[in-house]
Amino acid sequence: MSNKKPIELSPPHFNTAFNEKMLMEEPASILAAFEEEVRTYVGRPHAVAVHSGTSAIHLALKVLGIGKGDIVLCQSLTYAATAFPIMYEGAQPVFIDSEPDTGNMDPELLEKAILELAEKGQKPGAILLVHLYGMPAKMKEIIEIADHHGIPVVEDAAEALGAEYHNTRCGNFGKLSILSFNSNKVITSGGGGMLLTAERELAEKALYFATQAKDEGTVMNHREVGYNYRMNHVNAALGASQFTKLNERIRKRREIFEFYKQSLGSLPGISFLSEHPQTCSSRWLTTLFIDPSTSGGVTRSQVQEALTKENIESRPVWKPMHLQPVFKNCPAYINGVSERLFTQGLCLPSGSNLSPHNLERISSAIKNVFS
Ligand SMILES: *Cc1c(COP(=O)(O)O)cnc(C)c1O
């Protein structure tokens, strides 16, 4: 093992200016303050703070009434946390492959899936999409298809806080959207998530399920099964104190991407995902793609091994859900794109606290593999 100082992929970056006085407030006011900050930034009328992005996705499906046997059309190339909540409800994921421009849900395959299911008399209960590593998905096309067929969209914006698509912030699309404040995301509350929506009724329903499905009144009366998903006030206070730094954090992550692109972009066989007009990625993690047919024989694994030797963490792009053993029996609409991105893609350290010296260390380690 190398004795060089470790460099992590995306370690928590805390704003140390934490106002402890905030903790003296009523827990409910602390939660309301954090929710207010996030929903104002994203531009959505209602927000419910919960203890993870995963629980926010679960609640989104819950309030849409997704249950046993219902079909959810889910992006295949994502972190498993996107898809697991479909299983919690006994629903049926149908995975949709990616288009090559953004790595996100392919609108053409999505439509194909909807039409083929319609022929069998089946209508999906929801479309669950992701902005991979902070790169906005093709929202215009997807929303058009979803609206045309009357299928609600759930937007997993866990990696895309601060990203923009046609002047709308990610986290402000679909019937319901979710964010994560997990410790490796752009902003962390030490752990947490948020569910956002324009519809008051959905927000109230989500809050009800997140707080043990209690009926109104002082008697603890329950007609349905609930969850203990509400964010606690300590995490909310921490989240609010971090949120003031959001723009700085995004700027830093975008600068890190520019650095990698400048210093590695001319190596043979290397490419990055680039932004389309009127979109802005949060660049949560910079992802490098290495095409072995043009890289002079260099592979993704070789680059990863070279980084590991230098005590630098890197990680292959998410393994698509349709290739996961746990989902092996799920239907999938596949075009090969996500599998290619997975086999060629490597996520590089992108934390907003990464120093110029460490960026140089990473870039030289990669260049060495090519020389
Ligand atoms: C992190 C992440 C989640 C889950 O968020 P948690 O807060 O860790 O539960 C969901 N989807 C995607 C795409 C993520 O990256």
Instruction: For 197-240, give the secondary structure using H, E and C.
Output: ECCHHHHHHHHHHHECCCCCCCCCCCCCCCCECECCHHHHHHHH
The CB of 52 under 6 Å from ligand 1? The reply is yes
Please choose, from the candidates 31, 62, 64, the residue with its C-alpha nearest in 3D space to the C-alpha of residue 48: 31
Q: What pLDDT does 1 receive?
A: 54
Q: What pLDDT does 238 receive?
A: 92
Q: How many A from CA of 57 to the centre of ligand 1?
A: 9
Q: What is the DSSP letter of 312?
A: B
pTM of the model: 0.97
Residue type, 159: E
**Looking at ligand 1, which residue's alpha carbon is closest to its atom 4?**
53
Chain segment 150-195, per-residue pLDDT in tens: 999 999 999 999 999 999 999 999 999 999 999 999 999 999 999 9
pLDDT less than 50: residues of the chain? none
Q: How many A from CA of 297 to the centre of ligand 1?
A: 34
Q: What pLDDT does 3 receive?
A: 78
Q: Which ligand 1 atom lies nearest to the CA of residue 191?
A: 7
The CB of 78 under 6 Å from ligand 1? The reply is yes
Q: Are strands 126-130 and 164-165 parallel, antiparallel or unpaired?
A: unpaired
Chain segment 127-158, per-residue pLDDT in tens: 999 999 999 999 999 999 999 999 999 999 99
3-state SS, residue 155: strand
Q: What pLDDT does 7 receive?
A: 95
How many alpha carbons lie under 13 Å from residue 266 in its C-beta half-sphere?
3
Mutate to test the pocket of ligand 1, among 82, 86, 338 (most ligand atoms within 8 A of CB): 82
Q: How many A from CA of 289 to the centre of ligand 1?
A: 22
**Looking at ligand 1, which residue's alpha carbon is closest to its atom 2?**
158
Chain segment 223-249, per-residue pLDDT in tens: 999 999 999 999 999 999 999 999 999
